[in-house]
């Protein structure tokens, strides 16, 4: 059993096919298996179903923002296309740099990092005084960290074709590399970039599959990097994609700890190689 992990946050105005009281999902968010309608959790007025109690426990460990985002994603997937009026979709990946975008210092250099979500993206800072400076010049600051994230993630990008058209990335002269939700995506032209930005959920799963295929065969750990037990000890492995890198886990309950400190996770994987 496995999962493809790409979180989606949605702001939407649309009716859905889910009736009151019915779960918003047919498949378990952790295993991808069919849900048991008797194993559910409430998120506001909505119900989320799971295949087993273990996955329900994992969901209960999510923070409220992730729960709400998951429900919104499921409602968007269940919506009639012709009924949709407004959909703003963003891929959410943790901040993957180890330095503050304002001071350039290590995130823990001032005693503890500060985490904020700015324009739908997580950004981490060395102290509480830095976020206001970032927000005062967001466009320039995002441009700076985007350049660093592209360089950081490019070595792990698994395909040399456009994520939208499937054409070679250099088929129109040079690839268009951009960061969306703290994650690198590559297209062959700006038209394809615009198409991606209009419906990112359409293209992310295919890239996730390519990452799993490319990185699974050389994955250096045979244990869960969080739970420390065997990858199949809880019915896994579960596959999690973070910044175009594969992380294998024993169960969905380990997800949040990866998101809390992804660089520590990457370091252990790299050291094992």
Closest CA to 71 of 97, 51, 45, 95: 45
Q: How confident is the model at residue 83 (pLDDT cuts 50, 70, 90)?
A: very low
Q: How confident is the model at residue 155 (pLDDT cuts 50, 70, 90)?
A: very high
Average pLDDT over residues 14-22: 44
Print burial letters for 137-171: b (CB count within 10 Å at least 16), e (below 16): eeeebbeebbeebbebbeeebebebbbbbeeebee
Over its C-alpha atoms, the chain yields an Rg (Å, rounded) of 19
Identify the pLDDT of residue 171: 94
pLDDT digits (tens, 9 = 90+) for 240-250: 999 999 999 98
Identify the pLDDT of residue 167: 97
Residue 146: its H or E element: helix 138-153
Closest CA to 50 of 33, 69, 75: 33
Mean pLDDT taken over the chain? 84
Asked if 30 contacts 3 with a C-beta cutoff of 8 angstroms, the reply is yes
CA distance 182 to 96: 8
Identify the pLDDT of residue 92: 61
Closest CA to 208 of 179, 244, 173: 244
Q: How confident is the model at residue 79 (pLDDT cuts 50, 70, 90)?
A: low
Average pLDDT over residues 53-77: 84
Closest CA to 97 of 88, 89, 107, 87: 107
Identify the pLDDT of residue 87: 33
Domain chopping of the chain, boundaries: 7-90, 93-156, 158-202, 218-272
- pLDDT at residue 98 is higher than 80: yes
Per the DSSP assignment, residues forming a β-bridge with 240 are 247
Asked if 91 contacts 178 with a C-beta cutoff of 8 angstroms, the reply is no
Question: What CATH number should be reported for the domain whose range is 158-202?
Answer: 2.30.170
- pLDDT at residue 273 is higher than 60: yes
Query: Which carries the bigger pLDDT value, residue 168 or residue 232?
Result: 168
């Amino acid at each position: 059993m496995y999962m493809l992990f790409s979180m989606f946050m949605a702001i939407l105005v649309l009716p859905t096919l889910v009736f009151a009281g019915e779960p918003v999902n047919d498949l378990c968010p952790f295993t991808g298996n069919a849900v048991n309608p008797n194993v559910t959790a409430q998120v506001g007025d909505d119900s989320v179903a799971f295949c087993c109690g273990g996955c329900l426990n994992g969901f209960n460990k999510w923070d409220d923002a992730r729960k709400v985002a998951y429900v919104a994603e499921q409602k968007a997937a269940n919506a009639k296309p012709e009924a949709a009026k407004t959909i703003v979709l963003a891929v959410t990946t943790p901040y993957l740099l180890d330095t503050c975008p304002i001071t350039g210092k290590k995130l823990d250099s001032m005693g503890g990092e500060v985490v904020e979500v700015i324009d739908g993206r997580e950004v981490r800072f060395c102290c509480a005084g830095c976020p206001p400076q970032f927000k005062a010049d967001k466009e320039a600051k995002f441009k700076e960290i985007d350049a660093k994230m592209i360089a950081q993630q490019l070595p792990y990008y698994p395909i040399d074709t456009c994520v939208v058209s499937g054409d070679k990335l250099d088929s129109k002269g040079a690839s268009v590399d951009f960061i969306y939700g703290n994650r690198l995506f590559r297209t062959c032209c700006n038209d394809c970039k615009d198409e991606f930005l209009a419906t990112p959920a359409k293209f992310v799963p295919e890239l996730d599959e390519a990452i799993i295929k490319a990185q699974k065969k050389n994955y250096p750990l045979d244990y869960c990097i969080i739970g420390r037990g065997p990858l199949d000890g809880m019915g896994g492995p579960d596959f999690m994609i973070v910044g175009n890198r594969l992380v294998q886990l024993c169960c969905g309950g380990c997800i949040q700890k990866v998101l809390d400190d992804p660089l520590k996770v990457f370091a252990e994987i790299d050291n094992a190689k």
